[in-house]
Amino acid sequence: MKNYFLKLSAEKSGQVIHKEIYGHFSEHLGRCIYGGIYVGEDSDIPNINGYRKDIVDALKEINIPVLRWPGGCFADEYHWKNGIGPKESRVKMVNTNWGGVTEDNSFGTHEFMNLCELLGCEPYIAGNLGSGTVRELSEWIEYMTFSGISPMADLRRKNGRENPWKLKYLGIGNESWGCGGSMSPEYYSDLYKHYQTFCKNFDGNSLYKVACGPNADDFNWTRVLMSRINRYNANAISLHYYTVPTGDWNRKGSATEFDEAEYYSTIQKTMYMKELLEKHTEIMDSLDPDNNIGLIVDEWGTWYDVEPGTNPGFLYQQNTMRDAVVAAVNLNLFNNNCRRVVMANIAQTVNVLQSVLLTEGNKTVKTPTFYVFKMFKNHQEGMLLESELENTDITEENITIPQVSASASEKDGIITLTLSNASLSDGATLTVDAGRCVEAISGRILSGSMNTFNSFDEPDNIFDTEFNDFKKMSNVINLTLPALSIVSLEIKVK
Ligand code: AHR
């Protein structure tokens, strides 16, 4: 077993881990919204105003800070006026991106904004730039956020909502380089500036505007966009990167049936996020040296072949201990890069891609990824502590990955330290220098074999339990991470 040394800097970094890094994304795709989050008030499934009670409770348990909606690719075909007013008269549409199913628009603006109020999270609206109009987007903002007398505010009132909602996060276009319009960065930048001009701040509501950023390693997109926008017309740009184990979109691999080589290749592919964050940050630093524009990873996670027998357009996949490691590695990366990374949204909340929750009828399953979000939630709004971890590279199946990932933050005299050990065979011992006298420690652990998952018949195969394999001596903690495990520690310091 290898021993590694981890030094936590007592000097605070001055960087806050924005709670929004623990954000989620829910699209009108497969069973994410319908059946996953929303079942309607008349459903036999216990619900609050149509929202599944089990899902609301579970999302509150992980302190969901922000929810992105209505897409994804769906966003650039979404016309918000079809999703307001009496449900029986809402216009139906075809969901061309996701299975060609009929979208009845029974979940629209009111249902989404009220859900965010119920969850106590920020709404993040993805506006339609691809097939919408400037006026349509501008009117949506007016509808949601204006309190006075105006056509849109009056319409909102007519539809039963007197007071405006608060809306901070507004994306303008989704994947405009692809499903959002196949645009060049030059063309998109101009269009973005045009659209955003008409997205107004009403009644003290202050929009935080997000421009569509690059697809994975399209560094040219970042360079062009960043050279054409500025702090007065954009608050952040987005980045999308999915972890595909094989790297082949035609044969992505199974969510549950994979060998050790495919496991290590998944971790290696997910580690590419580190390089992406560093390189996009470098470009952003050169064009925005004062760090005014944030980076939002508003789609990330694993993408496998769909579960056998399910609709290929619904992107339904199971979630194993491998996904838990992916989640831990990425969240540690986002924490450590929080100077630029101001938000991240895992794709997608329920029943789609790397979900934290799965549903079937009235049953719900919390995935291993859910437990990672639960174990990491104390990082939200903590002060990042620089955590210097020496090189932990290991080579398995001819693939080299870092064995251990870590991040640390401090809030109210408590250090939260989160760790993952990606090795399938070897434990790791860690000597942690906390930089201050350690008074007390408590810990949680998530572990299991690489393809362990929770199913509807066996929902408790894997969940977090107490971790106490540590010893403290003054400033130093010695601990052992078992092979394939994720650990979170709460360290009381003085
Ligand atoms: O999350 C699924 C899809 O992935 C989204 O709709 C799109 O933005 C991305 O390509």
Q: What is the pLDDT of residues 345-363, one digit of tens each?
A: 999 999 999 999 999 999 9
CA distance linking residue 84 with residue 100, whole number of Å: 22
Q: Quick one: pLDDT band at residue 241, thresholds 50, 70, 90? A: very high
Taking the C-alpha atoms of residue 73 and residue 211, their distance in angstroms, rounded to an integer, is 15
> Is the model more confident about 136 or about 388?
136
Count how many Cα atoms sit within 13 Å of the Cα of residue 396 in the half-sphere of its side chain: 21
Q: How far is the CA of 72 from the centre of ligand 1 (A)?
A: 5
- Residue 104, pLDDT score: 97
Q: What span, in angstroms and rounded, lies between the C-alpha atoms of 450 and 137?
A: 45
Q: Would residue 62 be called left, alpha or beta, if left means φ above 0 and alpha means ψ between -120 and 50 degrees?
A: alpha
User: Is 299 a known active-site residue?
Assistant: yes
Given this model, what pLDDT does residue 10 score? Answer: 74
* Average pLDDT score over the chain: 97
Distance separating alpha carbons of residues 368 and 452, to the nearest angstrom: 9
> What's the gap in Å between 73 CA and the centre of ligand 1?
6
Check if 299 has its Cβ closer than 6 Å to any atom of ligand 1: yes
CB of 347 closer than 6 angstroms to any ligand 1 atom: yes
Residue 443 C-beta-side C-alpha neighbours within 13 Å: 22
Q: What is the DSSP string of 58-110?
A: HHHHTT--EEEES-SGGGGG--GGGGSS-GGGPPPEEETTTTTEEE---S-HH
Q: From ligand 1's centre to the CA of 279, what distance in Å?
A: 22
Question: Which carries the bigger pLDDT value, residue 13 or residue 426?
Answer: 426
Q: CB 34: neighbour CB atoms within 10 A?
A: 18
Indicate the pLDDT class of residue 9, thresholds 50, 70 and 90. Answer: confident
Which tokens hold the place of 468? Answer: 């106490």
Residue from 80, 76, 75, 98 nearest 29 by CA: 98
- pLDDT, tens only, 292-326: 999 999 999 999 999 999 999 999 999 999 999 99
Q: How far is CA 61 from CA 55, 65, 298, in A?
A: 10, 11, 21
Helix, strand or coil for residue 292? coil
Domains of the chain by range and CATH? 2-8+386-493 (2.60.40.1180), 19-381 (3.20.20.80)
Q: Based on the residue annotation, tell me whether 122 is a catalytic residue of this protein.
A: no
Look up residue 441 and give its two tokens: 């420690």
Question: Which of 175, 260, 282, 388 does the annotation list as catalytic?
Answer: 175
* Residues 6 or more apart in contact with residue 285 via CB below 8 angstroms: 291, 340
Q: Residue 11: pLDDT band by 50, 70, 90 thresholds?
A: confident
What pLDDT, in 10s, does the model give residues 39-93? Answer: 999 999 999 999 999 999 999 999 999 999 999 999 999 999 999 999 999 999 9
Q: Model confidence over 102-152: pLDDT tens digits? A: 999 999 999 999 999 999 999 999 999 999 999 999 999 999 999 999 999
Nearest-CA neighbor of 172 among 228, 126, 136, 109? 126
CB 363 within 8 A of CB 456: yes
Mean of pLDDT values over 435-456: 97
Q: How confident is the model at residue 395 (pLDDT cuts 50, 70, 90)?
A: very high
Q: Ligand 1 atom 8: the closest Cα is on which residue?
A: 72
**Which residue is it, tokens 């702090």?**
231
Taking the C-alpha atoms of residue 279 and residue 214, their distance in angstroms, rounded to an integer, is 12
Ligand 1 site, residue 239, Cβ cutoff 6 A? no
Residue 13 scores a pLDDT above 90: no
With tokens 């899902």, the residue in question is: 55
Residue with tokens 């987007």: 137
Average of per-residue pLDDT across 370-380: 98
188 CB neighbour count, 10 Å cutoff? 25
CB-based contact 31:306 (threshold 8 Å): no
Residue ID of nearest Cα to ligand 1 atom 3: 72
Cα gap 334→341, rounded to integer Å? 6
Q: Rg of the Cα trace of the chain?
A: 22
CA distance 492 to 417: 11
Instruction: Point out which residues pair with 295 in neighbouring strands.
Output: 237, 341
User: What is the predicted pLDDT for the residue at 120?
Assistant: 98
Structure tokens at 163: 């007071």
What value does the mean pLDDT take over residues 264-283? Answer: 98
| Range 186-207 average pLDDT | 97
* Cα 240 to ligand 1 centre (Å): 9
Question: What share of the chain has pLDDT > 90, as a percent?
Answer: 97
Task: Reply yes or no on whether the pLDDT at 30 is more than 80.
Answer: yes
pLDDT at 388: 86
Closest residue by CA, ligand 1 atom 7: 72
* Per-residue tokens: 180: 């959002």
- In angstroms, the CA 479 to CA 26 distance is 37
Mutual angle of helices 53-61 and 109-119, in 10-degree steps: 50
- Residue 20: the pLDDT is 98
How many angstroms separate the alpha carbon of residue 71 from the centre of ligand 1? Answer: 7
Pairing of the two strands 122-127 and 66-69: parallel
Looking at the DSSP bridge assignments, the partners of residue 37 are none
Distance in angstroms (rounded) separating the CA atoms of residues 129 and 175 = 10
CA 139 vs CA 6, 146, 155, 195: distances in Å: 52, 10, 11, 12
27 lines ligand 1 (CB under 6 A): yes
Q: Please check whether residue 405 is in contact with residue 396, taking contact to mean a CB–CB distance below 8 angstroms.
A: no
Q: In the predicted model, what is the mean pLDDT of residues 96-103?
A: 97
Mutate to test the pocket of ligand 1, among 29, 128, 179 (most ligand atoms within 8 A of CB): 179
Dihedral (Cα; 30, 216, 232, 71), 10-degree rounding: 0
Sign of CA dihedral 306, 307, 312, 317: negative
pLDDT in tens, 400-419: 999 999 999 999 999 999 99
